[in-house]
């Protein structure tokens, strides 16, 4: 089973900038991964994105689950090149410090 999560709906803003909002995203992701579900996170409609938000929302997932589990169960979509680069940096750091 794959659960689709819309970031904009979860944080109720097109700005993925605050770590508190990232924490809300993390809670949604964590609950589903904990239950063995796969998650697809859509960034459609997000116009601003920061590493603070991504660290809290996605990076912390690596504190709870193995890199292999995350790779198999978590997908993202609708990120532009800049967003993908930010996410890569966050994930690379998370794998170093949290795994």
Residue-level pLDDT at 96: 84
* Each residue's pLDDT tens digit, 2-52: 999 999 999 999 999 999 999 999 999 999 999 999 999 999 999 999 999
- Please spell the DSSP secondary structure of the chain, one letter per residue: -EEEEEHHHHHTSSEE--HHHHHHHHHHHHHHHHTT-EEEEE-TT--EE-HHHHIIIIITHHHHS-HHHHHHHEEEES--HHHHHHHHHHHHHHHHHT-
pLDDT band at 95; cut points 50, 70, 90: confident
């Amino acid at each position: 089973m794959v659960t689709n999560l819309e970031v904009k709906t979860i944080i109720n803003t097109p700005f993925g900038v605050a770590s508190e909002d990232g924490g809300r995203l993390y809670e949604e992701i964590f609950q589903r991964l904990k239950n063995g579900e796969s998650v697809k996170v859509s960034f459609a409609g997000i116009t601003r994105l920061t590493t603070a938000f991504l660290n809290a929302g996605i990076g912390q997932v690596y504190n709870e689950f193995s890199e292999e589990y995350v790779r198999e169960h978590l997908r993202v979509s609708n990120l532009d090149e800049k967003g993908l680069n930010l996410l890569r940096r966050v994930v690379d750091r998370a794998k170093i410090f949290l795994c």
